[in-house]
Structure formats: structure tokens, C-alpha cells
Amino acid sequence: MGNKRKVVLFIASSLDGYIATKEESLEWLFSVEGEGDNGFSEFYDTVSTVIMGKRTYDWIMSHELKEFPYVNKDCYVFTRSVVEDKENVEFVSSDLPKLINDLKNQEGNNIWIVGGGELLQTFLEEKLVDEIIVTVAPAILGKGIPLFREGDYQLNLSLKRTRTFNQFVELHYEVNK
């Protein structure tokens, strides 16, 4: 691989910047008419590592009834508790910058930050994000779980591309370093 692996946030948000309602519902997202899989499989093919916070993991486990969806990728779930690893998932509470640095020095494709907003805050404060792809749903929620929490970070971005998938708009940015 010529280029270093990139850390990419790929996530869907309401127009007012929420990733779920307070009750963790995604109905406002799943009810939107998109196009195909809204770029998901194209993106998914570019990653070999998946990272998420424990609440996102718990949401997936309580809604994806058949099996964990990311079995063919290396998957890390961040938690401050001690949780026994599962067949396809490593639970980590260690130093996030160190993990990312180690991963970037290993062979592999890109690293996907699945979410949610709480884990993302650490990525942003530690300046660990290389690219941001937000798929905006045509909904305003008024309140909910924020994509971008208040925190000690400020990033300047360069727009790489915009695309639409019927009712969705995909915004693809590179983080200026």
C-alpha cells in the first residue's frame, strides 16, 4: 500500500446535526427514500478496520438481530469498562491516539469511525480524523444525540465532493492538517 491508512468518519446526520433521537431512534433516518445503499458498500470496501463507542455497539447488537454486521473487518469498541472480547470484537479503553498510531503503522485499508458523537469528540480533540463523510437526511430533530459535541477542537476542512442519493446529500471533507 502506497498511502498511509486514513481515519474516516462516515455517518448519517439530521440537518440540525443529530445522529439519533434522545431515545436512540433512527426511524427518521431509515424512513428516508435514498438511492441504492446510499454509497455504503462503496465506502465499506475502502475500510479494513471499524471503530465505535460502546453505545453504538449496544445499539447495533440490539437491532441487528442476525449477526454482528462487521465480521470481515477488524473491529474495536471503546468503553471505559472491562468487557470480555467477542469473536469479532475487541473492547478497548486504552489510549486512543496510541491505537490509531499503531493501526496507521500496520498494513491495511482505511479506518472507519462508525460513531457515535461521544467517541468522535475524543477523535476530534486528539486531531485523529483525516476525512469526514456526512450523509445528511432531510429531517430536523430539534434535540437528540449530537454528532458534534461541544469540545476543545476546531478543524478547518476542504470540501472534496458532494453527491446526492435521492433525498440524501453526502458531504465529503478532508481535514486540513
Ligand X SMILES: NC(=O)c1ccc[n+]([C@@H]2O[C@H](COP(=O)([O-])OP(=O)(O)OC[C@H]3O[C@@H](n4cnc5c(N)ncnc54)[C@H](OP(=O)(O)O)[C@@H]3O)[C@@H](O)[C@H]2O)c1
Which 81-100 residues touch ligand X, going by CB under 6 A? Answer: 81, 93, 96
Distance (Å, rounded) from C-alpha 39 to C-alpha 89?
25
Comparison of 125 and 174: residue with beta carbon closer to ligand X:
125
Comparison of 1 and 98: residue with beta carbon closer to ligand X:
98
Distance (Å, rounded) from C-alpha 90 to C-alpha 111?
15
Which 148-177 residues touch ligand X, going by CB under 6 A? Answer: none
Comparison of 145 and 175: residue with beta carbon closer to ligand X:
145
Which 103-142 residues touch ligand X, going by CB under 6 A? Answer: 114-119, 122
Number of Cβ atoms within 10 Å of the Cβ of 146: 20
Comparison of 59 and 108: residue with beta carbon closer to ligand X:
59
Distance (Å, rounded) from C-alpha 163 to C-alpha 39?
9
33-41, 75-83, 102-110, 151-159 -> range binding ligand X (CB under 6 A): 75-83
Distance (Å, rounded) from C-alpha 9 to C-alpha 112?
6
Quickly list DSSP for 30-59.
Answer: HTS--STTTTHHHHHTTEEEEEEEHHHHHH
Query: Which residues bind to ligand X, rule: CB under 6 A?
Result: 11-12, 19-20, 24, 26, 29, 52-56, 59, 78-81, 93, 96, 114-119, 122, 145
